Amino acid sequence: GENVEQHPSTLSVQEGDSAVIKCTYSDSASNYFPWYKQELGKGPQLIIDIRSNVGEKKDQRIAVTLNKTAKHFSLHITETQPEDSAVYFCAASRYSGGYQKVTFGIGTKLQVIP
Positions in the binding site for other proteins (CB under 8 A)? 4, 31-32, 34, 36, 41-46, 49, 51, 89, 93-95, 97-107
Task: Return the number of other C-beta atoms located less than 10 Å from residue 114's C-beta.
Answer: 8
Of the pair 41, 114, the CB lying nearest other proteins is at 41
Minimum CB–partner distance for residue 91 and other proteins (Å): 8
CA distance 67 to 46: 20
What does each C-alpha distance from 22 to 2, 36, 64 come to in angstroms?
A: 17, 13, 10
Task: Return the number of other C-beta atoms located less than 10 Å from residue 2's C-beta.
Answer: 15
Of the pair 37, 80, the CB lying nearest other proteins is at 37
Minimum CB–partner distance for residue 95 and other proteins (Å): 6
Minimum CB–partner distance for residue 48 and other proteins (Å): 10
